[in-house]
């Protein structure tokens, strides 16, 4: 973090998201979607890190790299299904409120 970034109040933000259509073969049917999200201060360009996210890659849940600067999350068209909600409760247990 440079001096400008240390003094910045981080009042404005820029976000970037890249959606990927995942297929097994080139031109094949879409099997799932993922989104990679980054956020940084629009003034000093300091990137922000995502907290509380497991590290690595997992097609079933959001993850990040060790630096936490990119959120990698599975997404689907439309709202969550009953199975999605049950999976979150199974993974996170009683600390999940919904
Ligand atoms: Zn800033």
What 8-state DSSP symbol labels residue 24?
A: S
Task: Retrieve residue 63's tokens.
Answer: 């993850």
Confidence of residue 94 (pLDDT cuts 50, 70, 90): low
Q: How far is the CA of 42 from the centre of ligand 1 (A)?
A: 7
**Assigned domain for 89 exists:** yes
Cα 1 to averaged position of ligand 1 atoms, centre (Å): 10
30 in a structural domain: yes
Which domain does 78 fall in, by range?
9-95
Q: Which residues pair with 39 in a beta bridge?
A: 15
Q: What is the pLDDT of residues 31-89, one digit of tens each?
A: 999 999 999 999 999 999 999 999 998 888 899 999 999 999 999 999 988 988 888 78
36's CB contacts (< 8 A; 6+ apart) are 17, 18, 20, 70, 71, 72
Please state the domain count of the chain: 1
- Ligand 1 centre and the CA of 78: distance in Å? 34
- Rounded to two decimals, what is the model's pTM? 0.80
| Domain contains 2 | no
């Amino acid at each position: 973090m440079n001096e400008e970034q240390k003094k910045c109040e981080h009042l404005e933000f820029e976000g970037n998201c890249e959606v990927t259509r995942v297929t097994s073969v080139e031109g094949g049917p879409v099997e799932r979607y993922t989104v990679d999200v980054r956020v940084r201060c629009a003034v000093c360009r300091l990137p922000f890190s995502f907290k509380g996210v497991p590290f690595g890659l997992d097609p079933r849940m959001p993850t990040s790299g060790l630096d936490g600067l990119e959120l990698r999350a599975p997404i689907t068209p439309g709202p969550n299904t009953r199975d999605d909600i049950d999976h979150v409760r199974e993974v996170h247990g009683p600390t999940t409120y919904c």
